[in-house]
Amino acid sequence: MFGDHAAYIVPSYLISLLVMLGLIGWIRITYSSHKKALKALEAKGIKRASSK
Amino acid sequence: MIENTKNNIGIWARLGAWLTHMANPTRFMRFADRTIPYLAGLSLSLFAIGLYLGFTAPQDYQQGATVQIMFVHVPSAWLAMMCFSVMAVSGIGTLVWRHPLADVSLRAAAPIGLAFTFLALVTGSLWGKPMWGAWWVWDARLTSVFILFLIYIGIIALSRAIEEPTTAARSLSVITLVGWIIIPIIKFSVKWWNTLHQPASVSKLGAPSMDAVFLYPLLTMALAFTVLFFCLHFMNMRNEILRRRLRVLKIKSGQLGKGSAV
């Protein structure tokens, strides 16, 4: 499909995919860890002024 | 003419009102929660169409099959610059209007911009080797994009180094606005200097010097990347708001000092 240049084209798409998946994964993991930490603190009765 | 001017004022007034409405982080979180699934779906659909158009496009008479690399390289490079411009506008939002979400937007965009700049450099290098015979040359376009990459790293490092939130927001805004000078340098580097990198072929005034068979997949992929950027930006802004809430609660519980970061 890509002829002699497959060695350059395939890594271009693979690296792009990996970087994007890595970015999405990092953002999603950060979101769940922040949510978890907030819940843990709120469970201890420590709440923001606006959520009282 | 008068009608057009009135319409323009109407659009800016509505945008201003919307931005003021979004100054409440909780309201923004609700907006992001609703919008993110649609942006993700739209981005995925555009990627599917763009990849289909790209992989079924014929080989270029000069570049051969390596033209396929352009469909990821060019959108990454555009996004690297657009993301920095979003950060610069956010910087103005912090310094001029003190909008509560402006600093959130700037901080959230920086790692995404860094990732796209990295992709632009790597895919450019993978295209350069078969076309120019070199992985890298220190020409004006490549060097200026590399400087952008370093500026992104600097801004991320600074955002983690200053713990006091107000000082950090102002410092980041100033550095971003000063650093924005690199964007016109990148854009016009191929005109101002004699570079190995080819001049603009899509954003030329008049008609793009690119056949429709390559232009359509390129534009579809660029749109897919842009929608993905806004989706990731909203997701990371949500994270930044949560990080701030977490910091406040940790200070309240005595786990952190007032000048500390989470």
pLDDT reported for residue B60: 83
Give domain status of residue B258, yes or no.
no
CA distance B194 to B126: 22
Residue of A nearest to B123 (CA): A12
Q: Quickly state the pLDDT bin for B146 (edges 50, 70, 90).
A: very high
Please report, for residues B63, B195, B197, the alpha-carbon distance to residue B143 in angstroms, rounded to integers and kept in the order given: 23, 11, 11
Give domain status of residue B17, yes or no.
no
pLDDT reported for residue B23: 79
Does residue B202 surpass a pLDDT of 90?
no
How many domains does chain B contain in total? Answer: 1
Please choose, from the candidates A26, A6, A31, A18, the residue with its C-alpha nearest in 3D space to the C-alpha of residue B68.
Answer: A6
What domain range is B227 assigned to? 34-58+69-192+211-252
Would you say B137 and B112 are in contact if contact means Cβ atoms under 8 Å apart? no
Give domain status of residue A1, yes or no.
no
Give domain status of residue B94, yes or no.
yes
- The 10s digit of each residue's pLDDT in B166-180 is 999 999 999 999 999
Residues 6+ apart with CB under 8 A from B166: none
Give domain status of residue A14, yes or no.
yes
Q: Measure in Å the smallest separation between the Cα of B10 and chain A Cα atoms.
A: 33
- The 10s digit of each residue's pLDDT in A10-33 is 999 999 999 999 999 999 999 999
pLDDT reported for residue B14: 86
In the A/B pair of chains, how many CB contacts fall below 8 A? Answer: 92
Which chain A residues have a beta carbon less than 8 Å from that of B232? Answer: 23-24, 27
Residue of B nearest to A26 (CA): B236
Would you say A41 and B255 are in contact if contact means Cβ atoms under 8 Å apart? no
Q: What angle do CA B105, B110, B112 make, to 5 degrees?
A: 100
What domain range is A33 assigned to? 6-42
Q: What is the DSSP string of B204-225?
A: -SSS-SS-HHHHHHHHHHHHHH
CA distance B137 to B128: 9
Q: Measure in Å the smallest separation between the Cα of B252 and chain A Cα atoms.
A: 7
Give domain status of residue B20, yes or no.
no
State the amino acid at position A39 in one-letter form. Answer: K
Residue B171 phi, psi dihedral angles, 5° rounding: -60, -45
Which chain B residues have a beta carbon less than 8 Å from that of A12? Answer: 68-69, 72-73, 122-123, 126-127
Q: Measure in Å the smallest separation between the Cα of A18 and chain B Cα atoms.
A: 10
Does residue B205 surpass a pLDDT of 60?
no
CA distance B214 to B200: 15
Contact flag A30-B239 (C-beta cutoff 8 Å): yes
How much is the ipTM here?
0.90
Does residue B104 surpass a pLDDT of 90?
yes
Please choose, from the candidates B89, B97, B101, the residue with its C-alpha nearest in 3D space to the C-alpha of residue B24.
Answer: B101
Residues 6+ apart with CB under 8 A from B49: B220, B224
- Output the pTM of the full model: 0.90
Q: Measure in Å the smallest separation between the Cα of A21 and chain B Cα atoms.
A: 11
Please choose, from the candidates B69, B10, B250, the residue with its C-alpha nearest in 3D space to the C-alpha of residue B262.
Answer: B250
Residue of A nearest to B244 (CA): A34
Please choose, from the candidates B73, B89, B116, the residue with its C-alpha nearest in 3D space to the C-alpha of residue B228.
Answer: B116
Span B218-230, mean pLDDT?
Answer: 97
- The 10s digit of each residue's pLDDT in B179-197 is 999 999 999 988 888 777 8
Element (H, E) at B50: helix B25-55
CA distance B93 to B141: 29
Give domain status of residue A28, yes or no.
yes
CA distance B59 to B39: 32
Contact flag B253-A35 (C-beta cutoff 8 Å): no
Give domain status of residue A51, yes or no.
no
pLDDT more than 70, % of chain B: 92
Does residue A52 surpass a pLDDT of 70?
no
pLDDT reported for residue B258: 61
CA distance B4 to A44: 57
Q: Quickly state the pLDDT bin for B261 (edges 50, 70, 90).
A: low
Instruction: Report which DSSP code applies to B58.
Output: P
Which chain A residues have a beta carbon less than 8 Å from that of B123? Answer: 12, 15-16
How many domains does chain A contain in total? Answer: 1
- The 10s digit of each residue's pLDDT in B20-38 is 877 788 999 999 999 999 9
Contact flag A48-B243 (C-beta cutoff 8 Å): no
Contact flag A15-B232 (C-beta cutoff 8 Å): no
Give domain status of residue A16, yes or no.
yes
